[in-house]
Amino acid sequence: MSFSASLIKKFRSDIDGDYRCLDTRPLVLVGLMGSGKSALGKRLSVALSLPFIDSDILVEEEAGISIAEIFELAGEARFREMERRVILNVLEQGSCVLSTGGGAFCNPETRAAIKENARSIWIDSTPETLLSRIGNPASRPLLTTGDPLEILTRLRQERAAAYSEADLCIRTGKQSHRTAMRKLLGTLSEAGHIERLLPHPAR
């Protein structure tokens, strides 16, 4: 996905400089819907000058319909199959920032492929924060079958074991993208996956 000059400028205002990825494997963001995987992933890709890929968008492009429509017309199992296929395909393409749909890392085959071929980061938040970020729950088919907060609380319990298999984890609250990016870039730097590029000396 490419961004307009004005979006790049906006994303840059949330990061403290340019970074270099020290790993040739994709950096994959996992976690529940509303955790900020896409917002942070876009900014991370700009910080690292790497392509940004969103697995939900790839699935929608391939199907030619929205995720809500895929769930409605073909069912969740079919969606998971498409999601697994697009992610395995991205993992073969090398360095990038990949934001995954919330359930992707809970599929054992998808998780195993990510663990083998990429670096994964779990973006975690409380159910209350997730819901406040999601806005309209109608856009997420899994949240339309009952009380969204209860569903998010249950999903977080059910999925925590899978998400905790990610290489790294950051917890984000109701904070600005800038604060969350500082955490994400700091965690990736400490783990030795990225390094900050020194600014050019003033002449």
Interface with ligand S3P (CB under 6 A), residue from 67, 82, 96, 98: 67
Quick one: DSSP state of residue 104? G
- Contact region with ligand S3P (CB under 6 A), list: 9-17, 100-108, 111-119, 162-170: 100-108
| Strand bridging mode 194-196 / 19-21 | antiparallel
Q: Is 156 in the site for ligand S3P (CB under 6 A)?
A: no
Q: Is 102 in the site for ligand S3P (CB under 6 A)?
A: yes
CB-CB contact of 86 with 63 (8 Å):
no
CB-CB contact of 144 with 150 (8 Å):
no
- Contact region with ligand S3P (CB under 6 A), list: 41-49, 140-148, 174-182, 186-194: 140-148
Q: Is 56 in the site for ligand S3P (CB under 6 A)?
A: yes
C-alpha to C-alpha distances, 55 to 52, 80, 110, 148, 201, nearest whole angstrom:
10, 11, 12, 23, 39
Rounded CA separation 164/106 (Å):
10
Rounded CA separation 181/145 (Å):
33
Least distance from ligand S3P to the Cβ atom of residue 169, Å: 16
Q: Is 141 in the site for ligand S3P (CB under 6 A)?
A: yes
- Contact region with ligand S3P (CB under 6 A), list: 6-14, 97-105, 174-182, 187-195: 97-105
Quick one: DSSP state of residue 171? E
Q: Is 41 in the site for ligand S3P (CB under 6 A)?
A: no
- Under the rule (CB under 6 A), what is the footprint of ligand S3P? 33, 56, 67, 101-103, 140-142
